[in-house]
Structure 1
C-alpha cells in the first residue's frame, strides 16, 4: 500500500525525493477520489514498515530462545542469516527497488542479536536511548523543514530535491532501459540509501520492542496475551489515530513526523487490533490461511511485489505510470489489489508443492553450507 505509489509516481523511486510520499494523482482533496487516496495512503504510510520491523524483532527473539534451548552459541549461525539478508537486500536494491528495507534490517539485526547477549538492564537502556534519540531527531528535522518552508526555501526547483520530480528521472523511468535504471541506482546509492540511516535509531527501538513484546507474552494464546493485545490496540489506536490525522493534515512538511514518528504508534495499535480479531476467530478461515501462506514466504513475496510493480509501472514493462498519469488514484489502488491477489494465490499454490518459498529455500541451502 506504500510502495505502489512510489512506482506509480513521476520519476519512480527518485520522485519520492521531490518531497511527496510517492505519486499524487492530483485529484481534488475534497472529491471522492481525493478522499479515497488520502485515506488509503494514510492507512499505510509507515505503519506496515513499523509492524514489519517489530515482527523482525519477534523473530529474532524466537531464534534466540530456540538457540538457548538447544545449547547452541549465540549469535552463531544467525550472523550468517543476517549477512545473507544484507546480500539479498543489496541485490534487491540494485536490480529491483531503490527503497529496499532488507539491508537496513540486516545491519540492525546484527546489533540487536549481540545486544541479546547483554544484560536486561543494557537492553532496556539501549531501547529507551534509541527511542529518545529518534524522537529528538524527527522533531529537529521537522522543525528545520518548517523553517525552510517558511523562508521559501522549499520552492519548486524540479531538480529532484524538492518541489517537483526531476525531468530526467521522469524520462528514465518512463522511457529508459533497464540497464540505465540499474546504473542510476548505483550512481545515486548514497542518497537512495538514506532511509535506513535516517531511521536507524527507530529500527533498533522497534526491534527491541518486538523482543520485549514476545517475552512479555503478547503473542501467546492465553488470558495474559489477550490482555496485552487489548492494551496495544487501545493505546496504539487511541493515541495513533489522532496524531497521524494531525500529521497528515499538516501536509508534506510533516511527512517525516508522520512516517517515522506517528506511524509506529498506530502500528502498535494495528498489531493489537489484528490480535484481537484473531482471538475471536478460533478456527482461521480460508483468508487467514492464505495470508499465513504469504507470511511463510515473506521474503519471496516482498521481492515479488516490487518486481511486479516495476514491470507494471515503468517503461521497461507496461509503462502504466506514464500512460495513466492523469487518470486519478483508482488505477493505483487497483494495481495494489491485483498484486495482492497474485501474492496470496501464488503463495498458497506454491506451498502446496514446496515446503518453503523460492528465496527462503535458497537461504536455507546456503546456510547449511
Structure 2
C-alpha cells in the first residue's frame, strides 16, 4: 500500500474517531432531563466521563477541517483552478447544511461555524508562512483575551463560567423545538461565534501540520507526531485535568484552551497507531474508517438518533431514565456508535459514499467550472 493511500486511511480513521467522540460530548446534552449541559460534581463518574470527551473531539474535528481545506486547496492547484474561487460554493453548501441541521435536528450544530471559518481561512491558506503565523498569533491572542476576560468575570462573580448555551429544548414537540431554535438563535449560536478566532487558528494549524507531514508514514512524519504528542498529551493533558477539576470557573479554559492541545496530541497518537497496525486494519479500524468516509452523514445521523431516543417527541428516555444516569448514557452512546459503524459499513458495501456525501458531490461538482488559471506550484 502506498504512502498516499495510507494517508487517506489515517485521515478516515481520524474522522471516524472525531465523529464518535463528538457524540461523546453531545450525548450528555441530549440525555439531560431538562436540556443543556448541566453540572457534575468533581470526580464523580459522570464528571470524569464528560472530562474525557469535553472539547477534545471538537478540537480534533476542527483540526481535521483544516486538513480537509488544505487538501481542497492542493486539489484546486493541481487542476489549475482559481482559489478560493469555487471553494466558496462549498462553504455556502456547508452553511446551508449546518443551518438545516441546526433548525431541524440539533441546537449545538458546529457546521455553520465551520462554514464561516472556512471562508476566512480559504483566503489565508495559500499565503506565506510568515503571514499565516501572524494571523495565527493575532487570532490566538484574541482568543486568549476573550477566555481570560470571561474566566476573570466568573471568578469575580463567584460563579462558574457559562456553558455557552445551557437552556435545552428537550421538552415539547419536535415543532416546538424547531420554533425555539428559530426564535432564540443567540442562545444556541453564541458558541459558534465565540470560537471563530480559535477555529481560525486550528484550521491553519491543521493545514500546516499536514504540510509538515503529520499524516506521512515516514521518518519525518513520525518525528513530528512525537513532538505533537509531547506537547498535546504531555503538557496539554495535565493542564486539562487541572482546569477540569480544580474550579468550575475554569470551564472555558478547560474546553477552549486545554482541550484543543490534547486534540492535537490525539491526532498524532491515532495516526501513529494506524501506521503501527499496518495493512491489516481489523474490524474496529475498518468500522472507524467507514464512519470517517461517511463523516457528514454520520454526524447528522447520530444527532437525529439521539434526539429520537432522548427527546419528548421520541422515546423520551432522558426523562424516564434520569435516575439511571450516568450508566444508561454510556449504554446509549455505545449503542449509537455501534449503529453508526454497522450502518456505515453496510452502506459502503453497496455505494461509494454516504448519502449526504453523495448529495454534496452532486451539488458541488456538477456545476463546477473548467480550469480558470494556470497551474500553481503545490506547497511542500
TM-score, shorter chain, exceeding 0.5? yes
1:241 positional shift: 1.4
Please give the TM-score of this superposition, normalised by the length of structure 2.
0.86
Answer yes or no: is the 8 Å Cα contact 2:125–2:207 preserved in 1: no
For residues 100-120 of structure 1, the C-alpha deviation after alignment (integer angstroms, 9 at most, x for no partner) is 000000010011111124333
For 2:25, the equivalent position in structure 1 comes to: 2
What secondary structure sits across from 1:237 in the alignment? helix
Are 1:313 and 2:310 an aligned pair?
A: yes
Are 1:239 and 2:262 an aligned pair?
A: no
Are 1:195 and 2:204 an aligned pair?
A: no
Divergent runs of 4+, >4 A: none
Alignment partner of 1:228 out of 218, 224, 228: 224
What secondary structure sits across from 1:75 in the alignment? coil
The more displaced of 197-206 and 128-137 is: 128-137
What secondary structure sits across from 1:173 in the alignment? coil
Answer yes or no: is the 8 Å Cα contact 1:10–1:23 preserved in 2: no
Q: Separation in 2 of the partners of 1:78 and 1:177?
A: 38
Are 1:137 and 2:169 an aligned pair?
A: no
Return the structure number with greater relative CO, CA threshold 8 A, min gap 6.
2
Q: How does 1:104-253 map to 2 (within 5 A)?
A: 104-149=113-158, 173-174=170-171, 176-253=172-249
- Aligned residue pairs total 341
Q: Separation in 1 of the partners of 2:129 and 2:224?
A: 21
For residues 7-65 of structure 1, the C-alpha deviation after alignment (integer angstroms, 9 at most, x for no partner) is 111322xx2xxxxxx145x6x756xxx23x22221111000000100010001111111
Q: Separation in 1 of the partners of 2:303 and 2:25?
A: 11
Q: How does 1:358-369 map to 2 (within 5 A)?
A: 358-367=355-364, 368-369=366-367
Q: CA RMSD in A?
A: 1.9
1:352 positional shift: 0.5
Q: Mind listing any 5+ residue stretches in structure 2 that lack a counterpart?
A: 1-23, 368-380
Q: Separation in 2 of the partners of 1:55 and 1:358?
A: 21
Are 1:339 and 2:340 an aligned pair?
A: no
Q: How does 1:93-108 map to 2 (within 5 A)?
A: 93-108=102-117
Please give the TM-score of this superposition, normalised by the length of structure 1.
0.88
What secondary structure sits across from 2:158 in the alignment? helix
What secondary structure sits across from 1:10 in the alignment? coil
Answer yes or no: is the 8 Å Cα contact 1:8–1:23 preserved in 2: no
